[in-house]
Amino acid sequence: MFTIDKETFKRDYKKKFLEIHGRELEDGNNQSKYEALGSLVRDYVAKTWMNTNKRYNSTGEKQVYYLSMEFLLGRLLGNSLLNLGIRDICNEALSELGIELETLENLEQDQGLGNGGLGRLAACFLDSMASLNIPGHGCGIRYKYGFFEQKIINGSQVEAPDNWLRSGNVWEIRKPDKSEIVRFGGEVKCEDVNGRLTFTHINYEPILAIPYDTPIVGYENDVVNTLRLWSAEPVSNEFDFSSFSRGDFLKAIEYKNSIEAISHVLYPDDSFYEGKMLRLKQQYFFVSAGVQSIIRHFKCHGGDILSFDDKIAIHINDTHPTLAIPELMRILLDEEGLSWVDAWRITTNTISYTNHTILAEALEKWPIDMFKKLLPRIYMIIEEINRRFCEELWSKYIGQWEKISKMSILGDGYVRMAHLAISGSHSVNGVAKLHTEILKKQEMADFYYLYPRKFNNKTNGITHRRWLLKANPKLTKLLCESIGEGWIKHPTDMVNFEKFAYDKNVRKELGNIKRDNKSKLADIVYKDQGILIDPNSIFDVQIKRIHAYKRQILNCLRIMDLYNKLLENPNLDIVPRTFIFAGKAAPSYYLAKKTIELINSVAYKVNNDKRINDKIKVVYLENYSVSLAEEIIPATDLSEQISTTTKEASGTSNMKFMMNGSITIATLDGANVEIRDEVGDDNIVIFGLNEREVIDYYQKGGYSSWDTCNNDPRLRRITQDLINGYYCGDKDRFKVIYENLLTYNDEFFVLKDFDSYLKAQDKVDRLYRDSNKWEKMAAINIAHSGIFSSDRTIMEYATGIWGSGFLYKNL
Ligand code: 26Q
């Protein structure tokens, strides 16, 4: 294990500072001190990284590659120090040099190469794979600009580019010698060579894919895995020069830009699919580079291509990397000369697929015309996959043409990515029990019937190292003092903490820790927004992407109603509350942007109304990110998980909150169901329509939001306030929200669940008054959160899907 003593660390640090800045540490500013520290930590990691790779190459263990369009890592310094086991030493050494570690850590730019849940899950999985000694690596795109930076100006979201590489990135290593060529466009030449039909891709446009590697440090176990992100560049600069000499310099620059555009920016949509050519280019670009480099590395270490699937597992994070299937087929057929049958066996055994959504509007399908032009050989392969797939269907479903055309991979002029992903993989999983059941029963029922053994559930998880050890050191300390340190390596042992729910002193200490964390957040809010919030109030938090199905509007309507009640009776007996929101809206998602405006208008009015005696405050924190979540979550009393039942595949912030001792108010959606099963009905507050009711309404109708509204005077009033200028002079500003709720019959049952939500909130108020009871609930939530560590999830993937990990090492 890596160790270092304080004095050596100080010496190394001063030396490193001098080396990279050419001056003494004392003369540096914080940014330069951060850079030196990052660079030193990377050096410490380097040797273990090299040794890990050597070990993988010599033992020939099965390697897992996690392909994802998004990796939402956040900051790396703190977690790398923590996982190396030297964060305390480093902290002490720096403080002896008059430097505060936390200050330097906060200077690191978040690596925000993801939209939300799916990207953060990928990051948690990398941490767990390394920490569990599983040879698992990430493969994705090195976007020059990550998820946009959000500013709130006059209550509205304004987007700015996230130039995260501006001051460099100490963690990445550019590896030009490991580049790959990705081919777009052109034609396919078919020839008969000695009786075998061969296919040659000609007249294509070659693009250079350059990898940048980032070390992923395992927790105190001498493992460093790799996240490899690909960047697009022109194959050579010759083109520039020849154009320049022809006086066509601008054209050359344009050409260069058009290529670099591929890895320029992350698409900021997380639930609407749009058939944009550039997005398809991004997908094929990183998948092709990734699969080529996996095969190159495999062969270079003596692997026999016919046993590729014994040694390699490739996982696709949603359908975005599905082209890994035809790309692997292409290489096996055209470059390795395998038969279709062998290539298909290897491909399907290698690939596994996770679905993250049931929203129909998020399902990816690409127009065939566009696809064919961009990827002619890949399209031919998909045609052949589909021909064989339909043949299989014909023999099973004789004469059922409608069913067959519904299931086909190619149909209605589109390539249907989910169908390709299911047919070309050996495993299809959902991300929470309820979600997987809905996939099996509804969205993918036909495929489940055809391939029942492919379908399985893997409930999501989160890494407790970032979300508890790093984000909440005080709670970590209390846990260690109460139950020892074993839970850090075996998080399900946190259940030993349950008995401390009945220990008065521990409960009190839990309350103190929460209060400290709340004060720290209150300082941040004050610095950021100039709003004073009271750490004695209930911190009631909803932080996530803004989306109609996540129902920030329900939360906001309830605040509007409470405000009305307070105006009627300023002495209303409620525990003071601070409502905290954060989250980004997709720039093209009008309703989501209006939701942000509504929350901010309500905030402005409520926060400035002296009549209500500061009983409630509303705060919208700008630019939600991993690092901001690390501040908010440990300071939260009440976690809002209020999506329309059936719509949230899993949710993962729900897990982060419970692990930090928040109480959850929730619908029985996604993983909330499993959280309820773990903690029991007494330790969570549930409300709203259940799965059956929602599905029945969707299938049979029978819901009228208009009637629901008219029968409830509270709703009548607050919906009117959306269009009468009460919250802002402009009567039209929130009309779209009103119309969504009333003219278009409230697709997400906001009004239907309103009454039950308010009753649940009253229950929260009652529970919070009894601090003994509240802390007991908090303790029980913490104790039962271990199962939601991504270590559990990754063990399930490793043993149930990938055939990798320690169980397999001794076989
Ligand atoms: C697709 C095509 C074009 C442009 C963008 C996209 C796109 C990008 C991102 C589609 C979806 C996403 C992200 C989806 C996502 O984050 N889903 C969430 O995944 C979490 C991890 O499994 C779950 O916990 C959440 O319930 C789910 O919403």
Strands 205-217 and 111-113: unpaired
Ligand 1 centre to CA of 326 (Å) is 23
DSSP 8-state secondary structure symbol assigned to residue 473? H
- 551: exposed, middle or buried (C-beta count within 10 Å: 0-12, 13-18, 19+)? buried
- Name the token pair of 209: 């894919």
d(CA 390, CA 407): 8
Q: Answer yes or no: is 486 within a domain.
A: no
How confident is the model at residue 363, as a pLDDT? 87
Where on the phi/psi map is residue 689: left (φ > 0), alpha (ψ -120 to 50), or beta? beta
The domain total for the chain is 3
DSSP 8-state secondary structure symbol assigned to residue 788? G
Tens-place pLDDT, residues 369-425: 999 999 999 999 999 999 999 999 999 999 999 999 999 999 999 999 999 999 999
Pocket test for ligand 1, best of 283, 356, 429, 460 (most atoms within 8 A of CB): 356
Global model pTM greater than 0.85: yes
- 21: exposed, middle or buried (C-beta count within 10 Å: 0-12, 13-18, 19+)? middle
Ligand 1 centre to CA of 359 (Å) is 10
d(CA 531, CA 608): 10
Query: In degrees to the nearest 10, what's the CA dihedral of 759, 762, 766, 771?
Result: 110
Whether 243 has a pLDDT exceeding 60, the answer reads no
Contacts of 811 (CB under 8 A, 6+ apart): none
Dihedral sign from CA coordinates of 449, 455, 457, 461:
negative
Grade residue 249 by pLDDT with cuts at 50, 70 and 90: confident
Active site residue 652: yes
Ligand 1 centre to CA of 362 (Å) is 8
Element spanning 728, H or E? none
Q: Answer yes or no: is 542 within a domain.
A: yes
d(CA 560, CA 606): 9
Same domain, yes or no: 348 and 373: yes
Pocket test for ligand 1, best of 278, 318, 438, 588 (most atoms within 8 A of CB): 318
One of 350, 357, 595, 652 is an active-site residue; which one?
A: 652
Kindly report the length of the chain.
811
Whether 786 has a pLDDT exceeding 80, the answer reads yes
d(CA 337, CA 341): 12
Tens-place pLDDT, residues 175-207: 999 999 999 999 999 999 999 999 999 999 999
CA distances, 656 to each of 197, 236, 694, 788 (Å): 54, 47, 27, 9
Nearest CA to ligand 1 atom 25: 651
Same domain, yes or no: 19 and 68: no
What 3-state DSSP class applies to 204? coil
How confident is the model at residue 229, as a pLDDT? 99
Tens-place pLDDT, residues 488-508: 999 999 999 999 999 999 999
Q: Answer yes or no: is 217 within a domain.
A: yes
Nearest CA to ligand 1 atom 8: 270
Q: How many CA atoms lie within 13 A of 659 on its CB side?
A: 32
Nearest CA to ligand 1 atom 13: 270
> Cα 57 from chain centroid?
30
How confident is the model at residue 585, as a pLDDT? 98
How confident is the model at residue 69, as a pLDDT? 98
How confident is the model at residue 253, as a pLDDT? 86
Tens-place pLDDT, residues 594-638: 999 999 999 999 999 999 989 999 999 999 999 999 999 999 999
Same domain, yes or no: 555 and 675: yes
Active site residue 656: yes
Whether 95 has a pLDDT exceeding 90, the answer reads yes
Mean pLDDT of 426-443: 97
Same domain, yes or no: 530 and 607: yes
Whether 334 has a pLDDT exceeding 90, the answer reads yes
Grade residue 641 by pLDDT with cuts at 50, 70 and 90: very high
Q: Answer yes or no: is 508 within a domain.
A: no
Grade residue 241 by pLDDT with cuts at 50, 70 and 90: low
Same domain, yes or no: 2 and 65: no
Same domain, yes or no: 40 and 136: no
Ligand 1 centre to CA of 530 (Å) is 34
Same domain, yes or no: 426 and 381: yes
d(CA 34, CA 42): 12
What 3-state DSSP class applies to 6? helix
Nearest CA to ligand 1 atom 24: 651
Ligand 1 centre to CA of 541 (Å) is 21
Ligand 1 centre to CA of 430 (Å) is 13
Nearest CA to ligand 1 atom 15: 118
How confident is the model at residue 239, as a pLDDT? 55
Same domain, yes or no: 2 and 52: yes
Pocket lined around ligand 1, Cβ cut-off 6 Å: 115-118, 121, 267, 269-271, 273-274, 279, 356-357, 362, 364, 431, 460, 648-652, 670
CA distances, 466 to each of 409, 463, 521, 631, 789 (Å): 40, 6, 18, 12, 11
Name the average pLDDT for the chain.
96
Query: In degrees to the nearest 10, what's the CA dihedral of 77, 78, 81, 84?
Result: -100
Active site residue 356: yes
Same domain, yes or no: 416 and 448: yes
d(CA 639, CA 625): 17
Same domain, yes or no: 99 and 151: no
d(CA 119, CA 41): 25
One of 454, 550, 558, 615 is an active-site residue; which one?
A: 550
How confident is the model at residue 275, as a pLDDT? 78
Ligand 1 centre to CA of 356 (Å) is 6
Same domain, yes or no: 140 and 22: no
Q: What's the CATH code of the domain at 654?
A: 3.40.50.2000
Grade residue 811 by pLDDT with cuts at 50, 70 and 90: very low
d(CA 162, CA 142): 13
Tens-place pLDDT, residues 120-154: 999 999 999 999 999 999 999 999 999 999 999 99
Same domain, yes or no: 153 and 22: no
One of 377, 545, 551, 647 is an active-site residue; which one?
A: 545
Active site residue 605: no
Dihedral sign from CA coordinates of 569, 570, 576, 580:
positive
Structural domain boundaries, residue 105: 1-57+83-109
